[in-house]
Structure 1
Amino acid sequence: MLDTISFSQKQRLAYIDFSLLFKGVIYRQDVINRFEVGLSAATRDLNIYKELAPDNLHYDARERRYFQTPQFKPVFEHDARRTLTKLANDISDGFDAIGDIHFPVESPSSLNVPDIFIVARLVQAILNNKAVNVIYTSLSSGSGSRELVPHAIVDNGLRWHVRAFDRKTQSFRDFVLTRISKVTIKDSPEQQEQAQADAEWQRLIPLQLVPHPKNVEHPTAIEMDYGMENSQLLIQVRAAMAGYLLRRWNVDCTERGTLKGAEYQLWLQNRFTLNNVDNLAIAPGYGKGGNR
């Protein structure tokens, strides 16, 4: 049936498929607003989708919207890498599943790609403000059941993780997506388990990055690379993300810029701002010659 459908209608069907997979729900008005089509056209698209996959959705007349069913299986194949990038940039279309335009731009290959269905369940839980039960395999304790309250999916530069309140330790933590093998959506969280209570997530800290004082012979090149003004780049980051960013960009976090090597082209000039930030064990040189 898909072979006889126009490209523009495939786009709308892919959008319906994407919304059901990641949001668990779709309104007829969503299709109307996204594609600027009329009510009859949106209704026709949803009916065609239901013909293609009758077990994927059910209509709730009271709420006037379609819900994902427990038997849901996507009609289109959503590429994990592209979909994660789109989710990170708030692009919810699913067009890559129907052969979207491929731009001649490449990025380094990722060694670990999360299961797209695990991501979808977590995104649903976040959007609907629900807790989840997961099977998680950690390096220290192996596989086990955990109850989490997720509030963000994050790319830390090397891998994807979910930021969540862990009911076992009663704290907010990061959980690697590829180590989650099952997700079951549960109850609504308590107030102290939600994103607003995640102090490290809510707290913004300034990072003052400058060309490395010892490793860079021509600092102007580094200033151009990062669009620096007055020989510095000042950015605000979440405290929970600071360590990841500093590691990703190989920022020397020693007190006097003493790390050697061509990979250290940036130095953190205002190191004192990192006081009382939790995840800095991974920041290059942070434990050397300073207040930790």
Structure 2
Amino acid sequence: MELENVNYAQKQRLAYIDFKLMFTGSVTRNEIIQRFECGTAAASRDLALYKELAPRNLTYNTTDRRYVIESNFKPFFNHDPRKTLVKLANEISDGFDAIGDTKFPVEAPSSLNVPDLMIVARISQAIFQNKAINIIYTSLSSGSNSRDIVPHSIIDNGLRWHVRAYCRKSEEFRDFVLTRITKATMKSGISKEHENKKQDKEWNTFISLELVPHPKNIQHPTAIELDYGMVDGKMTIKARAALTGYLLRRWNVDCSDNAELNSSEYQLYLNNKHLISGAGNLTLAPGFQDL
């Protein structure tokens, strides 16, 4: 059967199968039934049709009773990288952008670059399957090299996409910029206990950030209070320690000791700097210096 002869509803289900295989490494008939509230027979037809259209993309594992991705998988649908990353960030795993042509009147700032979607897919598969991957990574300090990492989260810091992972080379949890990964290969075997997300102290620690209108750069602080929905002239947000530096940089929060950053771009000031010295990536925070 040709894809143009398939109705819209079934194309959606086929795109979902393609998406699940690509980013989790497997799909089950029951997942299709629950996602689309369809019958067993319809889900079976969808899987059979996908197998007919993309025979080299999946195989049935009789032990686990699920369809698993083949090593030579190639996405059957064209998943737009930017839209797909947004879907992943918001846990929307349907792949619907691969079909429909609805245009919504919404614009977002353009990013300078987006990661290779197949690299993201392999990392996502490793997360779902609790496995390590070998990556070729280019860092600013040491250039290109090979290392094994155990990823647990993919992060959009507002400027770039990162993967949070345990690095077996440095023996610690670190962030890796996705666009600097040029190759990712899944490794066999399950990751070890000390490599999993629960052991990532900075990731599991939450820090309260007290933000106020900048005391020197803002002439009318009420405007900033309205912008951010502040109460009594301040707002308190909780952030993962591992992400704190990224967030403060993204929001241009002045983190200097005495609100010393004299520029109109700094409209917010961190009012409780003394409480966050143990957070991660604080070198990225504007004006931050260790106490």
Structure 1: give runs of 5+ residues left out of the alignment.
Answer: none
Q: Give the corresponding residue for 1:3.
A: 4
Give me the TM-score of the superposition, normalised by structure 2. 0.97
> One-letter code of the match for 1:94?
G
Task: For residue 53 of structure 1, report the CA deviation from its aligned partner.
Answer: 0.4
Q: Give the corresponding residue for 1:63.
A: 64
Q: Give the corresponding residue for 1:29.
A: 30
Distance 1:118 1:70 in 2: 14
Give me the TM-score of the superposition, normalised by structure 1. 0.97
Q: Give the corresponding residue for 1:20.
A: 21
Instruction: Map 1:231-250 to 2 at 5 A.
Output: 231-250=233-252
Matched residues, number: 289
Distance 2:42 2:97 in 1: 22
- 1:30-71: CA deviations, max 9, x gaps? 110000000000001111111110111111222211011111
Distance 1:152 1:63 in 2: 25
Q: Give the corresponding residue for 1:39.
A: 40
* Residue 196 (structure 1) aligned to one of 198, 207, 216: 198
Match of 2:146, SS state, is strand
Structure 2: give runs of 5+ residues left out of the alignment.
Answer: none
Distance 1:100 1:228 in 2: 39
* Residue 256 (structure 1) aligned to one of 258, 266, 281: 258
> One-letter code of the match for 1:208?
E
Distance 1:273 1:193 in 2: 28
Q: Give the corresponding residue for 1:96.
A: 97
> One-letter code of the match for 1:263?
E
Q: Is 1:126 the counterpart of 2:127 in the alignment?
A: yes
Match of 1:209, SS state, is strand
Q: Give the corresponding residue for 1:168.
A: 169
- 1:152-186: CA deviations, max 9, x gaps? 00011110010011111111110000011111111
- 1:92-150: CA deviations, max 9, x gaps? 00000112532111111111200000000000101111111111111111111101011
The range that moved more, 17-26 or 93-102, is 93-102
Match of 1:37, SS state, is coil
Root-mean-square deviation over aligned CA pairs: 1.0
Distance 2:34 2:85 in 1: 23
Check conservation: 2:252, 2:268, Cα contact below 8 A.
Answer: yes
Distance 1:87 1:39 in 2: 27
Distance 2:196 2:104 in 1: 38
Distance 1:276 1:90 in 2: 29
